[in-house]
Amino acid sequence: MRRTAPALLALFLLAGCGTAAPTVDLDDPMGTAGDAVASIGTIEIRDAAIAPADDAEGGIAHPAGSDVELRLVAVNSGDAADRLVSASSPLAEEVAVGGEQALLGGSTLLVGDTGSTSPAGAASVTRATVTLDDLRQALSVGPTYPVTLTFERAGSVTLELPVDNP
């Protein structure tokens, strides 16, 4: 009995040393653990990623020469309006920005297919698109790739974006 008590105590203590189960944010429709997050001025960028591939072949999500959209949520926590004026990346021959790029004070800008219609608490929501046209290289799931977003007032921020999982 004397030998069993210390062994049971050790087993009990070790059982309590595990890590907590990961939490899942059910209000985050597209976020994955690797999505990029950044802030610049009053603009907070969340859940930024390159859209997933419909069908990846040989580990390549998007082949060279293809076009691919970005997905992200930009929130303006300030009072002054801002605007997404451009985007750039060494990955693409051209980066096209379209749709409504305005980001009013207290509003949210959804870029690409975020899976969200209107985030809770947003004063207003606008939708835009950012497309990497004619990729210069193939993109794979795993690595991150640089994309720079430029806002009229807040300035520029470079994000390292993963290719999102489907």
List the domain boundaries for the chain.
Answer: 32-162
pLDDT-above-90 percentage for the chain: 60
CATH code of 32-162, in short, is: 2.60.40.1890
Distance, in Å, from the CA atom of 89 to the CA atom of 101, rounded to the nearest integer, reads 18
Mean pLDDT of 133-156: 95
Q: Is 11 helix (H, G, I), strand (E, B) or coil?
A: helix
Q: Which of 70, 57, 76 has the alpha carbon at shortest distance from 151?
A: 76
Quick: pLDDT tens for 81-137: 999 999 999 999 999 999 999 999 999 999 998 766 555 566 688 999 999 999 999
Distance, in Å, from the CA atom of 160 to the CA atom of 147, rounded to the nearest integer, reads 7
Quick: pLDDT tens for 35-56: 788 999 999 999 999 998 877 6
pLDDT for residue 30: 40
Confidence of residue 163 (pLDDT cuts 50, 70, 90): very high
Chain-centre distance of CA 14, in angstroms? 37
